[in-house]
């Protein structure tokens, strides 16, 4: 039996086999890239831990330890082994979820991160939602009305978002909206009255208070998170609106848009039904990267608002010389970035059939 039809086209089974091979190669390439990226991340954090001017042994035994005690701890921590052996041991520990023990809290770093990470995730997620909800429509309208008043506003918003120091905006926000107007809650995740009142299920106060149907606790938690989340959302908005505008301008200048207008389609259908549909795919990557940047870039915001998240945890570890906490938090942030990139890549291939 011939493998092709009379027109020379491949048979259906051979097409399926070819598609399966392409997808298998794509998955293998993605897995290999992910493994190499994670290995590179661990190598960087390992080198940072070795070049930092902090003696990890002294942090464990203290300044008053004898030389014998120091040497014993040095050997027990494996620092007498060759660097390659230390690195392999470090990789094995991280893969098991063992980041060592925090000097500051006396608890395993993995346990500390599991406790503080939900606060950062909740803050970054709400900030990203605000940035997407405002930034995407703003960017689309700015591109559709290029040179108009909305376009000028979008440019100013993006410029201020990139230029204004976040610590200054945070302090001014607390002064105006908390100190003067009293519209929002103060620093921290909850008021003293509601602290510890909601059962800890997910570690995210808004979600836990909804699950418990404690509306008073939800309102209190929302009043505390809305200002720092809006601050992060503003920076996310500046980036997302600028990229959305850029993507839309490229699409609106394409020939198929002119064809759609000639056919008599409404401007709304042309912009949202055609142009925006084609920028949705690259916009997914922009939103994912924006969310990742808020996860790792919320350090100053968490410090200003006394937010007990991962950024504050890493900062306290750095100031106290707790390198296990610093490196553990850095690895977690790096892994989040890698997973977000992987998620956006998978979603990109799902939304765009041309990538298969």
| Domain segments of the chain as ranges | 12-95, 116-355
Other beta carbons within 10 angstroms of residue 149's beta carbon come to 9
Distance CA 235, CA 293 (A): 10
The 10 Å CB-count burial string (b at 16+, else e) for 261-280 is eeeeeeeeebbeebbbebbe
Distance CA 212, CA 200 (A): 10
Q: What is the DSSP letter of 4?
A: B
pLDDT of residue 352: 62
pLDDT of residue 114: 92
What are residue 63's phi and psi, to 5 degrees?
-70, -20
Cβ atoms of 37 and 349 closer than 8 Å? no
Which CATH class, in words, describes the domain spanning 116-355?
Answer: mainly alpha
Distance CA 168, CA 170 (A): 5
Distance CA 317, CA 151 (A): 44
Cβ atoms of 342 and 29 closer than 8 Å? no
Mark the ranges of the chain whose per-residue pLDDT is less than 70. Answer: 1-12, 19, 23-24, 27, 349-356
Query: With the C-alpha atoms ordered 176, 178, 182, 185, is the resulting torsion angle positive or negative?
Result: positive
The label of the residue with tokens 């006394």 reads: 306
Distance CA 348, CA 284 (A): 7
Exposure of 110 in the CB half-sphere (CA atoms within 13 A) = 8
Query: Percent of the chain having pLDDT more than 70?
Result: 92
Which segments of the chain does DSSP mark as H helices, in order?
12-51, 56-61, 67-76, 83-95, 109-144, 149-163, 166-173, 205-211, 215-252, 255-262, 267-268, 276-297, 299-304, 310-319, 323-351
Distance CA 176, CA 158 (A): 22
* Residue 199, token pair as written in the block: 């059962």
Query: With the C-alpha atoms ordered 304, 306, 308, 314, is the resulting torsion angle positive or negative?
Result: positive
pLDDT of residue 2: 44
* Residue 308, token pair as written in the block: 């007990």
Q: Where does residue 306 fall: left (phi above 0), alpha (psi -120 to 50 degrees), or beta otherwise? A: left
Q: What is the pTM of this model?
A: 0.82
Cβ atoms of 22 and 356 closer than 8 Å? yes
Widest Cα–Cα separation across the chain: 88
The angle at the Cα of 63, spanning 57 to 67, to the nearest 5 degrees, equals 70
The angle at the Cα of 296, spanning 174 to 324, to the nearest 5 degrees, equals 110
pLDDT of residue 133: 93
Q: Across the strands, what pairs with 108?
A: 101
């Amino acid at each position: 039996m011939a493998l092709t039809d009379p027109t020379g086209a491949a048979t259906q089974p051979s097409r399926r086999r070819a598609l399966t091979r392409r997808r298998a190669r794509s998955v293998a390439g993605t897995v290999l890239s992910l493994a190499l990226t994670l290995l590179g991340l661990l190598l960087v954090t390992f080198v940072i831990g070795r070049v930092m001017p902090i003696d990890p042994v002294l942090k464990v035994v203290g300044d008053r330890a004898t030389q014998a005690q120091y040497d014993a701890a040095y050997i027990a921590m494996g620092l007498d082994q060759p660097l390659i052996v230390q690195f392999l041991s470090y990789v094995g520990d991280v893969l098991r979820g063992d980041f060592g023990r925090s000097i500051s809290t006396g608890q395993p770093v993995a346990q500390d991160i599991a406790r503080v990470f939900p606060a950062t995730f909740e803050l970054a997620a709400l900030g990203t939602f605000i940035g997407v909800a405002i930034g995407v429509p703003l960017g689309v309208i700015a591109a559709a009305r290029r040179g108009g008043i909305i376009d000028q506003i979008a440019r100013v918003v993006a410029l201020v978002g990139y230029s204004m120091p976040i610590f200054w905006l945070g302090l001014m926000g607390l002064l105006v909206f908390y100190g003067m107007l009293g519209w929002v809650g103060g620093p921290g995740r909850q008021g003293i009255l509601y602290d510890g009142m909601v059962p800890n299920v997910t570690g995210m106060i808004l979600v836990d208070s909804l699950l418990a149907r404690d509306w008073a606790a939800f309102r209190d938690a929302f009043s505390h998170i809305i200002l720092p989340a809006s601050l992060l959302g503003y920076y996310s908005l500046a980036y997302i609106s600028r990229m959305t505008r850029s993507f839309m301008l490229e699409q609106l200048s394409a020939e198929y848009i002119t064809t759609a207008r000639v056919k008599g389609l409404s401007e709304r259908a042309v912009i949202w039904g055609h142009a925006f549909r084609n920028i949705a795919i690259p916009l997914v990557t922009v939103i994912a990267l924006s969310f990742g940047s808020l996860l790792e870039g919320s350090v100053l915001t968490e410090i200003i608002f006394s937010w007990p998240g991962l950024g504050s945890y890493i900062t306290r570890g750095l100031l106290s010389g707790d390198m296990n906490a610093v490196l553990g938090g850095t690895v977690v942030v790096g892994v989040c970035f890698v997973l977000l990139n992987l998620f956006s890549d998978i979603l990109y291939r799902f939304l765009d059939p041309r990538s298969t």
